[in-house]
C-alpha cells in the first residue's frame, strides 16, 4: 500500500463546504528535549495527528497525547521513509479532510528544514497554517560546544549554508556553494548536512582564499548527552573527523570563534566528553 493509502482512514468526504484542518509546523529544536519552547509544548499537547522527522528525540513525544496518531516521515537508517513530495501530498490530504495536523521538524522549520516548501504548498491550497520556530541546530551546537557564533573580536558576520552533495553519480557529486562568500574573513560559517562532503568543502574554502590554519570544528549530535566536538583547522579537520568516526547528524563550523572552544567547551557542558583538539 502507498504511503498515502496507509492513512486513507483519515479521509473525510470532500464537499465544497468542508473546512480544511489547520497545519502547525513546529520546530523540535536540535536534540535536547528541554530546548522545546513553551509554545511548541502547548501545540504538542493538543496534537491529533503528528507528521514527524526521524531525528526528533523520543522524549519530545512525552508531550503528545497517547490518542494522537504519529506518522514518521523523515530519514531513517540512510533512507527516506517518504519523499518530500509525498510528505506534502499527505499533509494536504489530511488537512483537506478537516484534520488538524502538527508537522514536527528537528531544529527550526525554516532553516534547511524544507518548511518553506511546505508552507508554500499550504498557501497555494488555501489551507491555514502556523509556524512555531525552534532552536536551530547551529544555535544548539554553539551553546553546548562553547563556540560563540559571533564575537566582536573575531566574527562580525554569520553565514549558514547547506553542504548537500549533488550529482548523477558518486564520481560527479559536488557541492555547489558560493565559495568566495564562505571564505571571507571575520565571519563564522556554519554548514549543515555537509559531513559527507567535508574534504571537498575544506579544499574549496582554502582554494578561495581562506587560510588553511583557520580554526574549524565538527559538532556531532549537538545538545545531546553524547555530543562530540572535533576541533582542528580547515586543513586538518577532514582527516580528524574520519579518524574519530564522526557520524551524522553533524554541523561544520568554520572561523576564528572555533578557537574559543578550547577554553569554553568543557565549562559550558561539563557532563559531556571534552572536545578533542589537534593542530
Of residues 11, 39, 57, 75, which has the active-site annotation?
Answer: 75
Residue 42 bears catalytic tag = no
Q: Which residue range is the domain that position 185 belongs to?
A: 138-277
Q: Which of 102, 135, 168 is the last residue of a domain?
A: 135
152 pLDDT more than 50: yes
134 pLDDT more than 50: yes
2 pLDDT more than 90: no
Query: Which set of grid coordinates corresponds to residue 257?
Result: 570563534
Q: Are residues 206 and 252 in the same domain?
A: yes
223 torsion bin: left (phi>0), alpha (psi -120 to 50), beta (else): left
**Is the Cβ–Cβ distance between 216 and 232 less than 8 Å?**
yes
Half-sphere exposure of 37 toward its Cβ, with a 13 Å CA cutoff? 17
Q: Are residues 188 and 260 in the same domain?
A: yes
Which tens digit of pLDDT belongs to each residue from 10-20?
Answer: 654 444 447 99
Q: Are residues 70 and 125 in the same domain?
A: yes
Q: Are residues 257 and 161 in the same domain?
A: yes
Q: How many domains does the chain have?
A: 2
259 pLDDT more than 60: yes
Which tens digit of pLDDT belongs to each residue from 38-51?
Answer: 999 999 999 999 99
Q: Is residue 81 packed enough to be buried (19+ CB in 10 Å), middle (13-18) or exposed (0-12)?
A: middle
Percent of the chain with pLDDT over 90: 78
Q: Are residues 49 and 18 in the same domain?
A: yes
Mean pLDDT of the chain: 88
CATH code assigned at 177: 3.30.950.10
Residue 39 bears catalytic tag = no
Residue 54's pLDDT is: 87
Q: Are residues 52 and 67 in the same domain?
A: yes
Half-sphere exposure of 58 toward its Cβ, with a 13 Å CA cutoff? 0
Q: How confident is the model at residue 4 (pLDDT cuts 50, 70, 90)?
A: very low
**Is the Cβ–Cβ distance between 31 and 57 less than 8 Å?**
yes
Q: Which of 117, 135, 153 is the last residue of a domain?
A: 135
CATH code assigned at 39: 3.40.1010.10
**254 closest CA partner among 224, 207, 213:** 213
Q: Quick one: average pLDDT of 226-247?
A: 97
Q: Which of 115, 135, 155 is the last residue of a domain?
A: 135
Report the distance separating Cα 60 and Cα 104, nearest Å. 10
Q: Are residues 76 and 147 in the same domain?
A: no
Of residues 32, 53, 57, 108, which has the active-site annotation?
Answer: 53
Q: Are residues 144 and 271 in the same domain?
A: yes
Q: Are residues 114 and 158 in the same domain?
A: no
Q: Are residues 118 and 225 in the same domain?
A: no
Amino acid at each position: 500500500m502507498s504511503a498515502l493509502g496507509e492513512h486513507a482512514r483519515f479521509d473525510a468526504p470532500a464537499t465544497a463546504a468542508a473546512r480544511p484542518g489547520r497545519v502547525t509546523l513546529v520546530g523540535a529544536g536540535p536534540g535536547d528535549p528541554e530546548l522545546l519552547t513553551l509554545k511548541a509544548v502547548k501545540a504538542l499537547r493538543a496534537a491529533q495527528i503528528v507528521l514527524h522527522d526521524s531525528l526528533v528525540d523520543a522524549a519530545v513525544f512525552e508531550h503528545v497525547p497517547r490518542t494522537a496518531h504519529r506518522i514518521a516521515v523523515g530519514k531513517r537508517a540512510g533512507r527516506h521513509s517518504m519523499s518530500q513530495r509525498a510528505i506534502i501530498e499527505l499533509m494536504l490530504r489530511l488537512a483537506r479532510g478537516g484534520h488538524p495536523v502538527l508537522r514536527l521538524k528537528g531544529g527550526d522549520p525554516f532553516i534547511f528544514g524544507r518548511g518553506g516548501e511546505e508552507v508554500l504548498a499550504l498557501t497555494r491550497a488555501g489551507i491555514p497554517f502556523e509556524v512555531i520556530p525552534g532552536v536551530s541546530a547551529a544555535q544548539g551546537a554553539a551553546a553546548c560546544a562553547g563556540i560563540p557564533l559571533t564575537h566582536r573580536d573575531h566574527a562580525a558576520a554569520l553565514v549558514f549554508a547547506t553542504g548537500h552533495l549533488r550529482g548523477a553519480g558518486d564520481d560527479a557529486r559536488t557541492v555547489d556553494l558560493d565559495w568566495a562568500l564562505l571564505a571571507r574573513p571575520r565571519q563564522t560559517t556554519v554548514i549543515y548536512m555537509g559531513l559527507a562532503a567535508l574534504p571537498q568543502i575544506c579544499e574549496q574554502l582554502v582554494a578561495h582564499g581562506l587560510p588553511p590554519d583557520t580554526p574549524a570544528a565538527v559538532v556531532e549530535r549537538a545538545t545531546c548527552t553524547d555530543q562530540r566536538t572535533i576541533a582542528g583547522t580547515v586543513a586538518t579537520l577532514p582527516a580528524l573527523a574520519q579518524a574519530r568516526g564522526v557520524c551524522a547528524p553533524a554541523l561544520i563550523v568554520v572561523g576564528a570563534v572555533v578557537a574559543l572552544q578550547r577554553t569554553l567547551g568543557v565549562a559550558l557542558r561539563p557532563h559531556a566528553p571534552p572536545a578533542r583538539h589537534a593542530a
